[in-house]
Amino acid sequence: MKKHNFSAGPCILPQQVFKEASSSILNFNNLDLSLIEISHRSADFVAVMEEAVQLVKELLEVPSGYSVLFLQGGASMEFLMVANNLMKVRGKAGYLDTGSWSSKAIKEAKLFGDTQILASSKDKNYSYIPKDYPIPSDLDYFHCTSNNTIFGTQIKAFPITDVITVCDMSSDIFSKKIDVSKFDLIYAGAQKNLGPAGTTLVIVKDEILGHTGREIPAMLDYKIHITKDSMFNTPPVFPIYVSMLTMRWLKENGGVSWIEKVNQQKADLLYQTIDHSSIFEGSANIEDRSTMNATFLLTNTELEEEFNKMCANGGINGLKGHRSVGGYRASMYNAMPLESVQVLVEIMNELERKG
Ligand SMILES: *Cc1c(COP(=O)(O)O)cnc(C)c1O
């Protein structure tokens, strides 16, 4: 029996995608060759890249004037690419600090110029999303993190700005409808909701590039990757292919509006269980709770051993919280069926009865 995989990343992908991806390794498109041994310039792989880009545009309704890239180096590479491509020489940027990933992005940006923290929830161990902070109009760009994978908080209403807006959407991209036109640059490491680790999706408005006065190394220059259709150097063919399969799966099932409903059902079920329980407690501020990563604790830590045992027996994988929060974290990415959350909730209720 396949386990119920609540891992935060790398994480669950649709079973159908695992099957198709496996067979592509042995024999891709009936070429009698593996996907990973053919040229990335072959018609068969170019078609994969084109379909992947097309699916991103379709599923997220990307307006014209934006480019879609599949790069390498993870979301962590984007922390420095963003600053490198958008921060002017002697320029300044503003960041919203909502967790470990935001602070890592801030640390990289500081290498490039004046990096201001406009608001932070560090005072309460990142358990909430700051709201109503000013965003100065003389910034080169504003950066935020839509979903805080580690702390289990998520931005529900993005601030309105008149500066270039950049968002790290690594852990909630494709989980709900977004208005891409409200952003100038979106990036997401694939391994949270899209595919295996090894590629990073970047959606960037073309007109924001090329205005910094900086010299940018080729591999870090979005403009070069755009000109070369993400094939400036050898692209990570397998992660891009699997991401494409995952997007096909999403489209076949009804797209982002379908998955948004499923994700809400899963999150509602788990949070209701936490809130009705006398032994579990949510870690994040209720109005800022993430639909993707639910963080919670056992109020009586003596029950931990029993709960861990029951989870293991029930086939629950990856529920341990990040060390900076402790407790538990249930990551309920797109590919997780409602049934897996039902299994977890039954175990939580059973522990409550035993109490
Ligand atoms: C996982 C994660 C990252 C880091 O991604 P890498 O691909 O490992 O560099 C950055 N931001 C967020 C929000 C994440 O969840």
* pLDDT value, residue 265: 98
Q: How far apart are CA 263 and CA 266, in angstroms?
A: 5
Confidence of residue 104 (pLDDT cuts 50, 70, 90): very high
Query: Which residues are part of the catalytic machinery?
Result: 101, 168, 192
Topology (CATH level 3) of domain 255-354 = Aspartate Aminotransferase, domain 1 (3.90.1150)
* pLDDT value, residue 353: 94
* pLDDT value, residue 191: 98
Does the C-beta of 145 come closer than 6 Å to ligand 1? yes
Does the C-beta of 74 come closer than 6 Å to ligand 1? yes
Q: What does the pLDDT look like over 281-331, one tens digit per residue?
A: 999 999 999 999 999 999 999 999 999 999 999 999 999 999 999 999 999
Does the C-beta of 189 come closer than 6 Å to ligand 1? yes
Cis peptide before 10 (omega within 30 of 0): yes
Q: How far apart are CA 353 and CA 46, in angstroms?
A: 56
Q: Which long-range contacts (CB under 8 A, 24 or more apart) does 309-312 make?
A: 310/347, 310/350, 310/351, 311/344, 311/347
CA separation, residue 111 to residues 82, 83, 84, 92, 108 (Å)? 12, 9, 9, 11, 6
Q: How far apart are CA 311 and CA 347, in angstroms?
A: 7
Does the C-beta of 188 come closer than 6 Å to ligand 1? no
Q: Residue 86, Cβ neighbours under 10 Å: how many?
A: 27
Ligand 1 centroid – CA 84 distance (Å): 18
Q: What does the pLDDT look like over 245-274, one tens digit per residue?
A: 999 999 999 999 999 999 999 999 999 999
Ligand 1 centroid – CA 302 distance (Å): 32
Confidence of residue 155 (pLDDT cuts 50, 70, 90): very high
Task: Decide: 338 and 270 in contact? Cβ < 8 Å.
Answer: no
Q: What does the pLDDT look like over 167-223, one tens digit per residue?
A: 999 999 999 999 999 999 999 999 999 999 999 999 999 999 999 999 999 999 999
* pLDDT value, residue 148: 98
Mean confidence (pLDDT) of the chain: 97
* pLDDT value, residue 223: 98
Testing ligand 1's pocket by substitution, the residue of 11, 77, 101 carrying the most ligand atoms inside 8 A of its CB is 101
| Amino acid, single-letter form, for residue 108 | E
Is 133 strand, coil or helix? coil
Ligand 1 centroid – CA 110 distance (Å): 19
Q: Express as a percent the part of the chain with pLDDT over 90.
A: 99
Element (H, E) at 145: strand 141-145
Confidence of residue 87 (pLDDT cuts 50, 70, 90): very high
**pLDDT of residue 355 exceeding 80:** no
Does the C-beta of 102 come closer than 6 Å to ligand 1? no
Confidence of residue 83 (pLDDT cuts 50, 70, 90): very high
Nearest CA to ligand 1 atom 5: 75
Cα torsion 219, 220, 222, 223 to 10°: value is -60
Tokens of 105: 């992005």
Q: How far apart are CA 277 and CA 271, in angstroms?
A: 10
* pLDDT value, residue 48: 98
Task: Decide: 135 and 118 in contact? Cβ < 8 Å.
Answer: yes
Ligand 1 centroid – CA 89 distance (Å): 27
* pLDDT value, residue 1: 81
Alpha carbons within 13 A on the beta-carbon side of 291: 22
Q: How far apart are CA 320 and CA 327, in angstroms?
A: 7
Does the C-beta of 235 come closer than 6 Å to ligand 1? no
Indicate the CATH number for domain 15-252: 3.40.640.10
Where do the domains of the chain lie? 15-252, 255-354
Does the C-beta of 101 come closer than 6 Å to ligand 1? yes
Q: Express as a percent the part of the chain with pLDDT over 70.
A: 100
SS3 of 119-139: the string is EECHHHCCCCCCCCCCCCCCC
Ligand 1 centroid – CA 195 distance (Å): 13
